[in-house]
Structure 1
Amino acid sequence: MAKFSPNSLTFEIDGPRITAQRFRKGFNAFLQMADEVADSVAGKPHAVEWLLSVEPGSVRVHIAPEAIKIPPEKIPVAIDAIQTGLAALEVGDDIWPAHFSEKALEAAKTMGEVLSKSDGELSAVQVRYNGQTTKMSSRSIASVDQLLQGKYVDHGTVEGRIQVLSRRGKTSFSIDDDISGRNINCYFPGELWDDVLRSFDPKMDRRVSVSGLIQYRRNGTPINITVEEFRGLRPKSELPSWSDVLGILAE
């Protein structure tokens, strides 16, 4: 059963009046946060499937990860990152938790709000792992607000591969950044559509370079970019090898 897994996380909510709405809001936020962290560790979306088990007579749910797109040896890393990150938010040390995306932080904030906005009808919203318990509170809310307020913008360039191309609303694409390994949303003017479309070929493993105004998180991780310049790069198969480079230098 999932609850006996050494990598099992436990979501628990206590109080004299636990409504279905409050439980659903808190548990959904917990799952979203867990998904975001696991995907960050794996570097791929939908990295795990969470297996559930419920203790009889309690409002306590255990979730255990089943590897889908993540190496099994990375699962403990993801689980530990979840517990460590939540604990850091409660301490309020003003450090962005490892593997926590902006969505993961927002989900953690929601978990804290479920308790703080319950008017005393809930006594605890907490997460357990490996004998450790992190109780969510208004401190997590304040920590997340502080971290997300730390965004800044600057001009720069990112390189990577286009993953998703969209014309819904603003013309945009997402790119897997070569340096951070994170997915970055890129908003570009319509006149660049044909250039972007020519570079959008997953089979060719084609990389692109985009420059413009980048919005960063407080820890320096890029979030999105308003594209001013776009350039398709040559695929790796067309790049010169080290022997080619050495041969050119020797001439």
Structure 2
Amino acid sequence: MARADQIPSDLTLEITENLSPDRFIEAVRAFFGYIKEISASVTQEDPDWIVRVKEGSQLIGVDPRANFPRPILHARARIGVNALVLGNLDDAQLTDSALKNLQKLSEISLKSKSAGLPIRLWVEKKPIEIKKEIATLIEKDWRIEYRDAGTLDGRLEAIQDKSGLSFSVRDPVFSQAIRCFFPEALLPKALTAFRKRVEVSGIIHYRKNGKPVRIDVADIELLPDDADLPSLADVRGILRQSA
């Protein structure tokens, strides 16, 4: 295990076992992915990043450049992992993308050759072990779901034709993109609604905590953009005229 004085950054990944090049790159990508996802929850602007690598070690650190609220970033990175270590997935308050990256790090830990844990996340010079139980916790939670008819609204983006037609709707409540699978007959509507606010209806798949994870779309309806809605001043004017 590394010492605190060896850690190159307040956000550092420690890999304590020699991994194959492919798995090493996989671990580093998952680490960067987790940190970037956390930073997106702090501010909508993607900051420039400085990567710091400790010579002669397997310590990879990353720091946002100046004018970024680092204490909030560090706190959220720490709280997310600690909650999962304690088995509290809901308390982690992480997006699906952040969870997937931590799951990947945990799976690499699970498949290590040694009995010890090969991966640690250091936050402000303090280590948190990415335990194998994290992957099990996330996988178990994602397997449990229920389905119900309903609607979701958000901005339609990322139309794909891979393993079936799909697009994403960025839900403003859960602040994440929800995958939407739709039939060929709805393709013209989906293309017309690209990057616009929509309401999609169909069978919604939920996790046990009530978070929607995907929808089998039956219909797509365009909604007015926020810019097209009347402002507060407009509403006041309408009320005066009707008085």
Unaligned runs of 5+ in 2: 1-6
1:31 aligns with 2:21: no
Residues 157-201 of structure 1 show CA distances to partners (whole Å, capped at 9, x for unaligned) of 11222223334552322222233332222222222222333333x
**C-alpha separation in 1, matches of 2:226 and 2:16:** 55
Tell me, yes or no, if the aligned pair for 1:38 and 1:79 is still in contact at 8 Å.
no
Match in the other structure for 1:183: 177
Once the two structures are superposed, the pairs formed by residues 1-251 of structure 1 within 5 Å of their partners are: 8-15=10-17, 17-43=18-44, 47-66=46-65, 72-73=68-69, 75-95=70-90, 97-98=92-93, 100-120=94-114, 123-200=117-194, 202=195, 206-240=196-230, 241-243=234-236, 246-247=239-240, 250=242
Residue 49 of structure 1 and its aligned partner are, at CA, apart by 4.0
What is the rounded CA distance, in whole Å, between the counterparts of 1:167 and 1:219 in structure 2?
Answer: 30
Q: CA deviation at 1:227?
A: 1.2
Contact 1:91–1:139 at 8 Å: present in 2 too? no
Task: Look up the equivalent residue of 1:149 and give its one-letter code.
Answer: R
Aligned counterparts of 2:113 and 2:134: Cα–Cα separation in 1: 18
Secondary structure (helix, strand or coil) at the match of 1:95 reads: helix
Contact kept? 2:12, 2:121, Cα under 8 Å: yes
Find the aligned partners of 1:128 and 1:80 in 2 and give their Cα distance. 12
Q: CA-to-partner distance for each residue in 1:176-230, whole Å, 9 max, x for gaps?
A: 2233332222222222222333333x4xxx4211111112234333222111122
Relative distance call for 1:42 and 1:148 in structure 2 (3 A) is farther
Provide the rounded CA distance (Å) in 1 between the counterparts of 2:185 and 2:168. Answer: 18
Counterpart Cα distance in 2 of 1:189 and 1:18: 43
> Which stretches in structure 1 are left out of the alignment for 5+ residues?
none
Report how many residues are paired. 234
CA–CA distance in 2 between the matches of 1:4 and 1:110? 23
Q: What is the alpha-carbon root mean square deviation over aligned residues?
A: 2.9
- Contact 2:197–2:225 (CA under 8 A) maintained in structure 1: yes
* Segment drifting more, 17-26 vs 76-85: 17-26
